[in-house]
Amino acid sequence: MKVQTALLARYAEVEPQGGLLNVTGGGINVFGVRVLPVDVPIAFVIQVVFDEQEANVEHTISLLVRDPQSQVVGEPVNTTFTPRFGEFHTPGWRGIFSITGGIVLPVQAAGAHSLGIQLDRAEAGDIPFQVLLTDTR
């Protein structure tokens, strides 16, 4: 299993019946803030591709916010998911499973941050983002 797509967005959802992914404001990666520290609520999208032996098995995804020194800040967000193939699955073809949700990014300093992604406790990618302290005049 591997992360195929990962991004922050203003809004994201997956249709339960067909798995169609709907994203608004996808790819946001710069946040201007007037004060620090600040909590930034945001949606996320993660798409994973999986092989047949990984289907119908529960997996865990963890999201970890890392500050400019790559230290984890706040509590990791953990959720379980079970990818399944649809009725039109072709044997030998990999599946795609989309996960969306909301997260609060606890920001304590300006600079480059990231949202780390772990699949079953193994590093699987990250979503980089920047926080800029705007003029407070």
Angle at 14 between CA 12 and CA 17, to 5 degrees: 160
* Closest among 16, 17, 19, 21 to 6, alpha carbons compared: 21
Lowest-confidence region among 13-27, 36-50, 64-78, 116-130:
13-27
- Amino acid identity of residue 37, one-letter, is P
* Average pLDDT for 68-73: 96
More confident site: 125 or 89: 125
pTM over 0.75: yes
Q: Assess whether pLDDT exceeds 90 at residue 16.
A: no
pLDDT for 9 equals 98
Each residue's pLDDT tens digit, 73-123: 999 999 999 999 988 889 989 999 999 999 999 999 999 999 999 999 999
Residue 111 belongs to domain with CATH number: 2.60.40.3880
* Average pLDDT for 49-68: 97
* Closest among 31, 30, 34 to 135, alpha carbons compared: 34
Q: Which residue has the tokens 């992604």?
A: 117
| Domain count along the chain | 1
Sequence-distant (≥ 6) Cβ neighbours of residue 102 within 8 angstroms? 41, 42, 43, 44
Residues in the chain: 137
What's the domain range around 62? 2-133
pLDDT for 137 equals 64
Lowest-confidence region among 13-17, 117-121, 128-132:
13-17
User: Please, what sign has the CA dihedral across residues 90, 60, 18, 49?
Assistant: negative
